[in-house]
Amino acid sequence: MPLPGSERVNTEKSGSILGFNGLRGLSVVLVYLNHKCGLQFYSGSVGVWIFFILSGFLIIGELNRQRGKVGTAASRPAAEIVTFWVKRATRIFPAYYALLAILFLTRSYFQHAGPDLGFRYHVVYLSNYWIGSVIGGTAGPFGVLWTLSVEQQFYVIAPFLFILLPLERHFAICMSVVVLGVISHFLMYSSGFNHTAIHTLSPWNFSLIAFGGALTILHLQRREWAPNGNGTFVCLLIVGVMLCSNGVIYDAPSYLSPAIDIAIGLCLVALIWWVRANQDSIFVQALEWKPLEHLGKISYGFYLVHNFIPNPLGKALTLYGGMSVPDSVKITAGAAIGFVISYGVAHVSWKYFESPILHSRRGLTKFFLQYLPENPSQGVPRTELK
DSSP 131: I
d(CA 335, CA 318): 17
User: What confidence score (pLDDT) does residue 381 get?
Assistant: 47
Asked whether the predicted pLDDT for residue 383 surpasses 70, the reply is: no
Those residues whose C-beta lies under 8 Å from the C-beta of residue 311, and which sit 6 or more positions away, are 36, 330, 334, 335, 338
User: What confidence score (pLDDT) does residue 12 get?
Assistant: 45
Residue 96's pLDDT band (cuts 50, 70, 90):
very high
d(CA 73, CA 233): 41
370 alpha carbon, distance to own chain's centre: 32
pTM attached to this predicted model: 0.89
> Is residue 33 a contact partner of residue 307, using CB atoms and an 8 Å limit?
no
310: alpha, beta or left? (left if phi > 0; alpha if psi -120 to 50): beta
User: What confidence score (pLDDT) does residue 6 get?
Assistant: 41
d(CA 166, CA 71): 7
Asked whether the predicted pLDDT for residue 181 surpasses 60, the reply is: yes
> Is residue 249 a contact partner of residue 216, using CB atoms and an 8 Å limit?
no
> Is residue 174 a contact partner of residue 193, using CB atoms and an 8 Å limit?
no
Asked whether the predicted pLDDT for residue 373 surpasses 90, the reply is: no
Rg (CA), the chain: 22
Q: How much is the mean pLDDT over the chain? A: 86
> Is residue 118 a contact partner of residue 108, using CB atoms and an 8 Å limit?
no
d(CA 281, CA 289): 13
d(CA 194, CA 175): 27
The DSSP code sequence of 32-51 is HHHHHH---TTHHHHHHHHH
> Is residue 185 a contact partner of residue 261, using CB atoms and an 8 Å limit?
yes
> Is residue 82 a contact partner of residue 365, using CB atoms and an 8 Å limit?
yes
Asked whether the predicted pLDDT for residue 291 surpasses 80, the reply is: yes
User: What confidence score (pLDDT) does residue 8 get?
Assistant: 40
Q: What is the mean pLDDT of residues 259-270?
A: 91
Residues 13-28: tens digit of each pLDDT = 445 799 999 999 999 9
> Is residue 243 a contact partner of residue 235, using CB atoms and an 8 Å limit?
no
User: Which region among 304-308, 313-317, 350-354 has the lowest average model confidence (pLDDT)?
Assistant: 313-317
Q: Is the dihedral of CA 93, 99, 55, 348 positive or negative?
A: negative
- CA–CA–CA angle 338, 39, 266 (5° rounding): 115
Asked whether the predicted pLDDT for residue 319 surpasses 70, the reply is: no
Residues 36-59: tens digit of each pLDDT = 887 777 888 899 999 999 999 999
User: Which region among 6-10, 70-74, 251-255, 322-326 has the lowest average model confidence (pLDDT)?
Assistant: 6-10
Residue 241's pLDDT band (cuts 50, 70, 90):
confident
Residues written for the chain: 386
> Is residue 65 a contact partner of residue 11, using CB atoms and an 8 Å limit?
yes
d(CA 270, CA 276): 10
Name the percent of the chain in helix, strand, coil, to the closest 5. Answer: 75, 0, 25
User: Which region among 101-105, 149-153, 173-177, 323-327 has the lowest average model confidence (pLDDT)?
Assistant: 323-327
User: What confidence score (pLDDT) does residue 136 get?
Assistant: 83
